[in-house]
């Protein structure tokens, strides 16, 4: 009896130790970035243009990150939700469905840099676009689509069968049942899925490296609005270097003496954005859940 | 079963004789007037945080008898049952107040470990829950964890337990190959009983053991209970009043009070509870007027 | 007299109903993933074999040890990918060895031992961890870990195999943890209760019931972590050194397939054999990930994990 009690106590202590250790690492990482970036951080950092020497700012890069996010999600959301609906409501146990599942697994496992190479081959070279934001968005669509599809499918499957059954029993078509009875209930889960996917897109760099390029942007004229002229920041065809890529650039090609400080502050911004995405996905999910269930 | 090294048996304090109600011994030969009290509960109250789930439970379970807990759903019968092997400890926020004794020793005293209590008091769950292992490994699980390693002893123990659970003949050929989960519901429950018996407990608690089984399997288990009485003390929670009448010596009737907490209404010999109960509430329940 | 009953079905259902537009549209959306996979596999493979088709390079050469892609150098050109392949292997195996005990331990803690308040801290922590972009880890590794390894532990360059393994280990930790946690959660609560009711300690219940039952799920979790580790590009690139040399000494710099691609793809033109070799690296990487997918599928017996 004594031995098993001792073993139990030891095992419990060990598991607590592991948990504390891991959480400590996370805290240490966050604290490190806060300390490294807070002294030199100013709000203008978020809007100023980057400079080749000195601290400058990340304005255009933040703009690009958000731009890319919106653009990518514009494609990903409709396809992901529709695909998720198909998988949850229409798909049967057949070869086609298995093929879809297999494809989802394969794409999710392909390293993002390989997806980036694929995007480069298609958009940069074959289409002749060079480095563009739209190329980056479409490339990110490739690996985000299976992910969002999966999350939407789960959210829709989680809707109790009664909702569907009630609608059908009243004589609605299947699509009507989906649209009016099932989807509203699945919305919280879908929104959570979208926000989570968005978080991933925001921080992505490897896939974009060869499609959007890591050239440091300059002279962004936000008043010049054009969808196709690559000189306009609003253009689909402008070089969409994002914040993550900027950090990469700082640590590989840059000669800037302040690169470490810039990287630290940029990382801090990214961390804060990721935290915001996480928190809002939880908060939104819960808020929508309450609205839907009428509480 | 030989006690493995390192297990220190709980030494009981001198037993207190229990007065038995004056009933015709011909009908109720089960209770020996000088029977010892195996389990005792005094003024037990169980709450989850501030909410009281069960209150005012005072009862004695004589050794080598079968006691049934009956009553409508949700009145706390299972909760009280689980106090007797400290399984309520697993529920966060559950507090057990009052005294609960095994052989006169306070189960909940600071010096007693739940593990010790559970080695002497076994529990059979409502739905059979064999481990995803072979039949042999299921039965051998308890003794193995207590440190028994000798293969011959384990083999013998497994066989003996399966015999006592009336399962041996049905499984003796694929003990080690067949998974416990591959048996029928009734067989699985008997496997769980065998598994419990292999640990050589003194008390066996049963929480609606037949509610997930068909009538034939139920009958088999009821026959088993009658035989087990000789070696163990049994407390069984049941929804089925006929079952309670068939297998138990004494019956405790619980119900839900107006404060939404369960409480013990009447405790007496089974015959009396079912033919001539002292309380109207009991009479209403056993005659099917509610619950 | 009652009116004649109206027939339930009027004429044959119209074209619109038979077409079932919603089903077709959603089906098309879902089918896109199949198209994407087919495209990726085709493209990458096609470009990957160009090295053998357009130059005189024999297939077995990529399994040699010498990586010398520069035609202007005095030494003969040789496209030996082994240093990259071995490097990738070293990173994902090493990262898994470092990360697995911590991740599985944490998952076990969260599933079996943690009180509610502890779970409320660890669960969001894992979600935060997952969200941190890999460049940030790379930057952290470069500015904190590498100098530490060099100055304090005396590594020759700081940038080393070990640095890569450590950084990647932290990156895959939340992946393994959440999948292992799911695996533990899948074990029904009655199993634990049954063991405890038989008089075992909590650790005995974990060791003899929960762990065996969750074993295949835990192994799948680790393999998924390894898969992430093998595909990791940017963080690895910053801390591993980039030396195309096979070594088993963790203090030495190494290179990986992803690093090879990242470093040189921008410097070479598509018509050069050097460039073609990089695509062959990409094809090898793709092949590896397909291998992982197959292993994961086998392990989880068809249950979808991703």
Q: Is the dihedral of CA B107, B111, B116, B120 positive or negative?
A: negative
Rounded distance, CA A274 to CA A270, Å?
Answer: 6
Residue entry with tokens 């190479």: A117
Structure token digits, residue C42? 């085709």
> What's the confidence (pLDDT) of residue B22?
32
Q: Is residue C35 in a domain? A: no
Q: Which residue of chain A has the CA closest to C305?
A: A105
pLDDT per residue as tens digits for the range C37-76: 999 999 999 999 988 888 888 888 889 898 988 888 888 8
**Band (B125; pLDDT cuts 50, 70, 90):** very high
The ipTM estimated for the assembled molecules is 0.88
> What's the confidence (pLDDT) of residue C303?
53
* C-alpha count within 13 angstroms, C-beta hemisphere, residue B171: 32
Q: Is residue A76 in a domain? A: yes
Residues in B closer than 8 angstroms to C199, CB to CB, are 115-116, 118-120, 142, 145-146, 199
Q: Which residue of chain B has the CA closest to C209?
A: B131
Say if the Cβ atoms of B196 and C116 lie within 8 Å: no
Residues in B closer than 8 angstroms to A2, CB to CB, are 6
Query: CB of A206 within 8 Å of any CB in chain C?
Result: yes
Section C207-235 average pLDDT: 92
Section C190-211 average pLDDT: 94
**Band (B82; pLDDT cuts 50, 70, 90):** very high
Structure token digits, residue C109? 């803690």
Interface contacts (A, C; CB < 8 Å) = 244
pLDDT per residue as tens digits for the range A96-114: 888 999 999 899 889 999 9
Say if the Cβ atoms of B113 and A2 lie within 8 Å: no
Which helix or strand (DSSP H or E) is residue B244 part of? helix B241-247
Rounded distance, CA C137 to CA C172, Å?
Answer: 11
The nearest CA of chain A is from the CA of B189 a distance in Å of 28
Q: Is residue A31 in a domain? A: no
Q: Is residue A36 in a domain? A: no
Q: Which residue has the higher pLDDT, A174 or B160?
A: B160
**Band (C268; pLDDT cuts 50, 70, 90):** confident
The domain spanning residue C246 has which CATH number?
Answer: 1.10.3720.10
Candidate from A4, A113, A274 with C-beta closest to C132: A274
Rounded distance, CA A95 to CA C163, Å?
Answer: 44
Please count the structural domains in chain C. 1
Section B234-241 average pLDDT: 93
Burial of residue C13 (CB within 10 Å: 0-12, 13-18, 19+) is exposed
pLDDT per residue as tens digits for the range B171-186: 989 899 999 999 998 9
Torsion angle of the four alpha carbons C176, C182, C183, C184, in this order, in degrees rounded to the nearest 10: 110
Residues in C closer than 8 angstroms to B195, CB to CB, are 194, 198
The pTM of the full predicted model, rounded to 2 decimals, is 0.85
Section B209-221 average pLDDT: 90
Say if the Cβ atoms of A25 and C170 lie within 8 Å: yes
Q: What percent of chain C has pLDDT over 90?
A: 58
Say if the Cβ atoms of B145 and A5 lie within 8 Å: no
Q: Is the dihedral of CA C28, C32, C38, C39 positive or negative?
A: positive
The nearest CA of chain B is from the CA of A16 a distance in Å of 19
Residues in C closer than 8 angstroms to A33, CB to CB, are 140
B28 pLDDT higher than 60: no
Q: Hey, which residues does B61 pair with through a beta bridge?
A: B39
Interface test with B, best of C113, C197, C210 (most B CBs within 10 A): C197
Residues 6+ apart with CB under 8 A from C76: C68
Residues in A closer than 8 angstroms to C43, CB to CB, are 118, 121-122
Say if the Cβ atoms of A5 and B115 lie within 8 Å: yes
The nearest CA of chain C is from the CA of B47 a distance in Å of 19
B117 pLDDT higher than 90: yes
Ranges of residues in chain A with a pLDDT under 70 are 293-295
Structure token digits, residue B207? 């929480």
The nearest CA of chain B is from the CA of C114 a distance in Å of 12
Structure token digits, residue C76? 């003969």
Rounded distance, CA A271 to CA A33, Å?
Answer: 9
pLDDT per residue as tens digits for the range A112-170: 999 999 999 888 888 888 888 899 999 999 989 999 999 999 999 988 888 788 888 88
Rounded distance, CA B39 to CA B66, Å?
Answer: 12
> What's the confidence (pLDDT) of residue B6?
40
Say if the Cβ atoms of A103 and C270 lie within 8 Å: no
Residues in C closer than 8 angstroms to B129, CB to CB, are 188, 190-191, 193-194
- Is residue C206 within 8 Å of C109, Cβ to Cβ? no
Residue entry with tokens 């940029």: A266
Q: What are phi and psi of C151, to 5 degrees?
A: -80, -40
Rounded distance, CA A200 to CA A277, Å?
Answer: 9
**Band (C14; pLDDT cuts 50, 70, 90):** low
Residues in B closer than 8 angstroms to C191, CB to CB, are 129, 131-132
B119 pLDDT higher than 90: yes
The domain spanning residue A286 has which CATH number?
Answer: 1.10.3720.10
Q: Compute CA distances A152 → A192, B20, B41, whole Å.
A: 9, 66, 53
Interface test with A, best of C29, C175, C198, C286 (most A CBs within 10 A): C29
**Band (C169; pLDDT cuts 50, 70, 90):** very high
B34 pLDDT higher than 60: no
Least confident of A192-206, B244-258, C166-180: A192-206
Residues in C closer than 8 angstroms to A270, CB to CB, are 132-133, 136
Q: Is the dihedral of CA A237, A243, A245, A249 positive or negative?
A: positive
Q: Is residue A14 in a domain? A: no
Structure token digits, residue A277? 């995405």
Q: Hey, which residues does B203 pair with through a beta bridge?
A: B121, B233
A 10 A CB-CB count for C1 gives 3
A 10 A CB-CB count for A171 gives 7
Say if the Cβ atoms of B123 and C197 lie within 8 Å: yes
Rounded distance, CA C248 to CA C254, Å?
Answer: 9
Which domains occur in chain B, in start order? 37-129+202-286 (3.40.50.300)
The nearest CA of chain C is from the CA of B3 a distance in Å of 14
Q: Which residue of chain B has the CA closest to C200?
A: B115
Q: Is residue A85 in a domain? A: yes
DSSP class of C113:
I
pLDDT per residue as tens digits for the range C127-166: 888 888 999 999 999 999 999 999 998 888 889 999 999 9
Q: Report the DSSP pairing between strands B94-102 and B203-207.
A: unpaired
Least confident of A241-245, C98-102, C267-271: C267-271
Burial of residue C34 (CB within 10 Å: 0-12, 13-18, 19+) is middle
B98 pLDDT higher than 70: yes
Q: What range defines the domain where residue A158 resides?
A: 41-292
Residues 3-22 of A with CB under 8 A from B: 3-5
Residues 22-41 of A with CB under 8 A from C: 22-23, 25-26, 29, 32-33
**Band (C5; pLDDT cuts 50, 70, 90):** low
Nearest residue to B54 (alpha-carbon basis) of B83, B86, B76, B85: B76
Residue A43, Cα to own-chain centre: how many angstroms? Answer: 24
The nearest CA of chain A is from the CA of C77 a distance in Å of 24
3-state secondary structure of C86: helix
Q: Which chains touch B (3 or more CB pairs under 8 A)?
A: A, C
DSSP class of C302:
T
Say if the Cβ atoms of C43 and A122 lie within 8 Å: yes
Query: CB of C173 within 8 Å of any CB in chain A?
Result: yes
For chain C, the residues whose C-beta falls within 8 A of a C-beta of chain B are 115-116, 188, 190-191, 193-201, 204, 208-209, 212-213
Alpha helices in chain C (DSSP H): 15-19, 21-54, 82-108, 116-131, 134-140, 146-147, 161-186, 189-197, 202-205, 211-231, 234-239, 257-264, 273-300
Residues 215-254 of A with CB under 8 A from C: 244-245, 247-248, 250-252
Which helix or strand (DSSP H or E) is residue B70 part of? strand B66-70
Query: CB of A148 within 8 Å of any CB in chain C?
Result: no
Candidate from C198, C201, C213 with C-beta closest to B141: C198
Q: What percent of chain A has pLDDT over 70?
A: 99
To the nearest 10 degrees (0 to 180), the angle between helices C21-54 and A112-119 is: 90
């Amino acid at each position: 009896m004594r031995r098993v009690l001792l073993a139990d106590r030891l095992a419990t202590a060990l598991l607590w130790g592991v948990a504390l250790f891991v959480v400590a690492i996370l805290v240490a990482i966050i604290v490190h970035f806060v300390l490294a970036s807070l002294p030199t951080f100013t709000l203008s950092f978020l809007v100023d243009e980057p400079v080749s020497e000195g601290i400058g700012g990340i304005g255009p890069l933040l703009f690009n990150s958000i731009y890319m996010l919106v653009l990518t999600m514009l494609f990903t959301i409709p396809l992901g939700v529709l695909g998720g609906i198909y998988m949850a409501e229409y798909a049967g146990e057949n070869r086609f469905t298995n093929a879809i599942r297999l494809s989802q697994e394969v794409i999710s496992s392909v390293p993002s840099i390989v997806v980036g190479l694929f995007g480069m081959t298609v958009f940069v070279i074959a289409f002749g676009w060079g480095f563009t934001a739209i190329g980056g968005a479409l490339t990110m669509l490739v690996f985000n689509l299976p992910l969002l599809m999966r999350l939407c499918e789960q959210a829709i499957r989680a809707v109790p069968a009664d909702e569907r059954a009630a609608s059908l029993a009243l004589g609605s078509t299947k699509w009507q049942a989906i649209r009016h009875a099932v989807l509203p209930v699945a919305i919280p889960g879908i929104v959570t899925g979208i926000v989570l996917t968005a978080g991933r897109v925001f921080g992505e760099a490897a896939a974009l490296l060869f499609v959007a390029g890591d050239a440091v942007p300059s002279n962004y004229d936000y008043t010049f609005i054009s969808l196709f002229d690559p000189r306009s920041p609003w253009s689909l065809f402008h070089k969409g270097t994002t914040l993550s890529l900027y950090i990469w650039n700082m640590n590989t090609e840059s000669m800037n003496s302040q690169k470490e400080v810039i990287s630290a502050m940029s990382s801090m911004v990214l961390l804060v954005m990721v935290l915001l995405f996480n928190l809002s996905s939880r908060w939104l999910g819960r808020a929508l859940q309450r609205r839907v269930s009428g509480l | 079963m030989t006690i493995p090294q390192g297990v220190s048996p709980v030494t009981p304090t001198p037993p207190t004789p229990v007065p038995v109600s004056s009933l015709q011994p011909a009908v109720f030969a089960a209770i020996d007037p000088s029977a010892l009290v195996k389990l005792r509960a005094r003024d037990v109250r169980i709450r989850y945080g501030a909410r009281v789930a069960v209150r005012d439970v005072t009862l004695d379970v004589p050794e080598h008898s079968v006691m049934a807990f009956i009553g409508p759903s949700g009145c706390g019968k299972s909760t009280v049952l689980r106090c007797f092997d400290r399984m309520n400890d697993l529920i966060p926020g559950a507090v057990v107040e009052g005294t609960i004794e095994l052989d006169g020793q306070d189960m909940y005293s600071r010096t007693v470990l739940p593990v010790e209590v559970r080695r002497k008091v076994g529990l059979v769950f409502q739905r059979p829950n064999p481990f995803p292992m072979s039949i042999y490994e299921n039965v051998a699980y308890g003794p193995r964890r207590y440190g028994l390693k000798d293969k011959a002893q384990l083999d013998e123990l497994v066989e003996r337990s399966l015999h006592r659970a009336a399962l041996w003949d049905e499984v003796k050929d694929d003990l080690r190959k067949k998974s416990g989960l591959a048996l029928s519901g009734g067989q699985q429950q008997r496997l769980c009983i065998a598994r419990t018996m292999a640990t050589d407990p003194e008390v066996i608690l049963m929480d609606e053991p037949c509610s997930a089984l068909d009538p034939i399997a139920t009958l088999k288990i009821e026959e088993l209970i009658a035989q087990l009485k000789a070696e163990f003390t049994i407390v069984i929670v049941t929804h089925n009043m006929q079952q309670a009448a068939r297998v138990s010596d004494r019956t405790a009737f619980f119900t839900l009070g107006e404060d939404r907490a369960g409480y013990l209404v009447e405790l007496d010999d089974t015959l009396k509870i079912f033919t001539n109960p002292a309380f109207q509430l009991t009479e209403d329940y056993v005659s099917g007027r509610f619950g | 007299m009652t009116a004649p009953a109206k027939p339930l079905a009027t004429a044959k259902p119209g074209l619109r109903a038979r077409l079932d537009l919603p089903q077709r549209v959603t089906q098309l959306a879902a089918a896109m993933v199949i198209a994407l996979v087919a495209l990726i596999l085709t493209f990458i493979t096609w470009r990957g074999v160009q090295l053998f088709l357009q130059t005189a390079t024999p297939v077995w050469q990529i399994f040699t040890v010498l990586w010398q892609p520069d035609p202007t150098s005095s030494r003969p050109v040789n496209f030996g990918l082994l240093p990259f392949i071995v490097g990738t292997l070293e990173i994902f195996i090493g990262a898994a060895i470092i990360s697995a005990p911590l991740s599985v331990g944490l998952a076990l803690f969260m599933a079996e031992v943690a009180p509610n308040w502890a779970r409320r801290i660890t669960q969001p922590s894992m979600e935060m961890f997952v969200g941190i972009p890999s460049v940030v880890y790379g930057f952290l590794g470069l500015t904190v870990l590498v100098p530490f390894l060099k100055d304090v532990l005396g590594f020759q360059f700081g940038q080393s195999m070990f640095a890569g393994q450590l950084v990647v280990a932290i990156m895959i930790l939340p992946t393994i943890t959440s999948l292992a946690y799911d695996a533990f959660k899948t074990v029904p609560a009655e199993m634990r209760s049954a063991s405890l009711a038989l008089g075992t300690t909590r650790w005995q219940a974990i060791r003899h019931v929960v762990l065996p039952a969750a074993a295949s799920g835990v192994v799948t979790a680790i393999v998924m972590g390894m898969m992430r580790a093998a595909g990791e590009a940017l963080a690895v690139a910053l801390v591993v050194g980039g030396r195309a040399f096979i070594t088993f000494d963790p203090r030495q710099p190494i290179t990986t397939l992803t690093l090879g691609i990242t470093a040189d793809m921008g410097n070479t033109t598509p018509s050069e054999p050097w460039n073609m070799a990089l695509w062959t690296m990409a094809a090898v990487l793709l092949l590896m990930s397909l291998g992982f997918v197959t292993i994961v599928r086998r392990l989880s017996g068809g249950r979808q994990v991703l």
